[in-house]
Structure 1
Amino acid sequence: MSSIRTIGFIGYGAMASLMGRNLIQAGHDVVAYTPSGRSNGAEADVPMLASPRLVAEKSDAIILCVPNDEAENRTLHGEDGLLAGLRHSQLVLDTSTVSPEQADHLAALLKERGVAVLDTPMSGSTPEAEKGALIMLVGGPEDTVERARPILDCIGRITIHAGPAGSAARLKLVVNGIMGGTLNIIAEGIAYGLASGVERDVLFDALQELAVISPHHKRKIGMGQERNFPSQFPTRLMSKDMGLLLEAGRRCGVPMHGMAAASQNLAFSSRHHADDDYSALIAQMEQNIANR
């Protein structure tokens, strides 16, 4: 094992708690902070500390896993914030899906303090997190990537070094945009098939056989067929990520008409299925045609 013994989490929800379990199995000690003092709605199986500052003070490396820019900034500042407890040369990995501007801001902020930081958003949902099979997207200096590799190898099956700081945050929006955009196309196709009279199970079973549909989306189609949407990736977070992508595309002058349509449908689905898996968009489309 590396010299990194204790790993502290800021945010310890569904994904982070599974990553933490794999790190513990690899011999690391894990501590965590959440505003509620709880993990994923339940009592945590690791020590829950009272502030981000305490997590920084008691850890060799810190993993951020929070839902958005605002949540991340709330954990950073103030006398009990993460910045108040960080030490020179400490290591911070930000696995959150945040805006490119937030990733750039965090990198600059920690560089000023002599703290090593990587943006390390992951591709994968809870099944991959449980198996330690996430794809880790990493932005930052090569030497910092190598320093973090023992952690990355515990929680992911592959690490993709996307480039300098902020690169992985940008790549993650591409990945999630393709996921959300493709799911929207599938949901629209299913809605047409059902409205036109194709028998429901025939339709869903046929889609499971097609090579053009990814294994990830076949899993989502299966949820749609069963009308059961365990929250592997909540709709509210996918909707948030689509919004981040559209704003980032606007800043770059890139038209994203298809992504915009998907974003609108996912935003509507989030009103009814915020904490369900984002594949609940299939159910929302099915409900829409049933009401006509």
Structure 2
Amino acid sequence: MSTASLVGFIGFGAMASRMGANLAKAGYGLVAYTPSGKGGDGSTRFVPTPRALAQEADVVIVCVPDDEALEASLQGADGVLAGMKPGSLLINTSTVAPETSVALAEQGKALGLTVIDAPVAGSTPEAESGNLIILAGGTAEAISRAQPMFDAMGRLTIHAGPAGSGSRLKLVINGIMGATLAVVAEGVTYGLASGLERDMLYDALDAVPVISPHHKRKLKAAKAGDFSPQFPTRLMQKDMRLLLTDGARQMAPLPAMAAATQSLSLTRRRYPNEDYSALFAVMESMVANTP
């Protein structure tokens, strides 16, 4: 893939804009469309419809919140698929249901397109520094074609398997991430309820190796009461829901992840747009009578 290629982004929010910045540093041209109609910082050109973007771009990268937004952006007379030329490459970095990724790959094949499901592991800090992990589903040929772009956006590409495999691997990772945070929050809840001093408790958990670096970052934020969204609760709870739905389809027992989803559902109701670590605030409020 030549670095002269024009990459079009459908969705240009916190993650995509940082991914785009790294592609621009690598020499790619950028054009974008946002479903909200908002966007534009002077360095990226925005177009009025997904179809208009697809007619211009050599590669389309989709980064939208959920299955519904993906459908709205891709399908219909003004959708991406109506504007893409045969032979073009479509990369979906959105976290969506695995069956959605499989269906999109089949639809793309019928239109002569190459489609990769490529959700990413990492939050906004990793997106900004180019240290994302790309979880790619598709053919080896397709992954090879996209590899220069993946290298610009991330530090590692994992070819998870055929279409839909990237989506499945992303649900595995986010399920572990969400369920583990819920367990850490429960530990904090017990500690506070039993009378342990709050700052000591948070500092102790930050010092021990049993807590992952990711969750130590969340602990620091929770101690300070800073839930600025790196991964909003509404998206984490959505991913847990997708995991449980596909898990039931696969007859995979997920009792711990199911329990964590209930806590994250409560958190989403109270803090939908804050970071999912706001679960700490929910749990603390139960035992400390804090807001």
TM-score of the superposed pair, with normalisation by structure 2: 0.97
Does 1:171 find its partner at 2:169? yes
Percent pairwise identity: 53
Q: Which residue of 2 aligns with 1:264?
A: 262
TM-superposed CA distance for 1:5, in Å, is 1.1
Does 1:155 find its partner at 2:153? yes
Q: Which residue of 1 aligns with 2:13?
A: 13
TM-superposed CA distance for 1:37, in Å, is 2.3
TM-superposed CA distance for 1:45, in Å, is 3.7
Q: Does the Cα contact within 8 Å between 2:3 and 2:26 map onto a contact in 1?
A: no
Q: Which residue of 2 aligns with 1:226?
A: 224
2:276 partner SS: coil
| C-alpha distance in structure 2 between counterparts of 1:123 and 1:142, whole Å | 20
TM-superposed CA distance for 1:43, in Å, is 4.8
Per-residue CA deviations over 1:223-252 (Å, capped at 9, x if unaligned) read 111110111000000000000000011001
TM-superposed CA distance for 1:76, in Å, is 1.3
| C-alpha distance in structure 2 between counterparts of 1:116 and 1:35, whole Å | 23
Q: Which residue of 1 aligns with 2:53?
A: 55
Q: Which residue of 1 aligns with 2:243?
A: 245
Matches within 5 A, 1:7-86: 7-39=7-39, 43=41, 45-86=43-84
| C-alpha distance in structure 2 between counterparts of 1:69 and 1:35, whole Å | 13
TM-score of the superposed pair, with normalisation by structure 1: 0.97
Q: Which residue of 2 aligns with 1:204?
A: 202
| C-alpha distance in structure 1 between counterparts of 2:213 and 2:10, whole Å | 31
Q: Does the Cα contact within 8 Å between 1:152 and 1:159 map onto a contact in 2?
A: yes
TM-superposed CA distance for 1:255, in Å, is 1.5
Report how many aligned residue pairs link the two structures: 290
The runs of at least 4 consecutive aligned structure 1 residues that moved more than 6 Å come to none
Q: Does the Cα contact within 8 Å between 1:33 and 1:48 map onto a contact in 2?
A: yes
2:190 partner SS: helix
5+ residue gaps, structure 2 = none
| C-alpha distance in structure 2 between counterparts of 1:141 and 1:102, whole Å | 17
Per-residue CA deviations over 1:24-60 (Å, capped at 9, x if unaligned) read 1111111111122223xx7564111101101111101
TM-superposed CA distance for 1:3, in Å, is 5.8
TM-superposed CA distance for 1:274, in Å, is 0.8
TM-superposed CA distance for 1:265, in Å, is 0.5
1:175 partner SS: helix
Q: Give the letter aligned to residue 288 of structure 1.
A: M
Q: Does the Cα contact within 8 Å between 1:4 and 1:60 map onto a contact in 2?
A: no
Per-residue CA deviations over 1:93-112 (Å, capped at 9, x if unaligned) read 11000001111111111010
Matches within 5 A, 1:84-103: 84-103=82-101
Q: Does the Cα contact within 8 Å between 1:38 and 1:44 map onto a contact in 2?
A: no
Change (3 A) 1:267 1:133: same
Q: Give the letter aligned to residue 96 of structure 1.
A: S
Q: Give the letter aligned to residue 8 of structure 1.
A: G
TM-superposed CA distance for 1:287, in Å, is 1.1
5+ residue gaps, structure 1 = none
Q: Does the Cα contact within 8 Å between 2:19 and 2:128 map onto a contact in 1?
A: yes
Q: Which residue of 1 aligns with 2:272?
A: 274
What is the aligned-residue RMSD (CA, Å)? 1.3
Q: Give the letter aligned to residue 283 of structure 1.
A: A
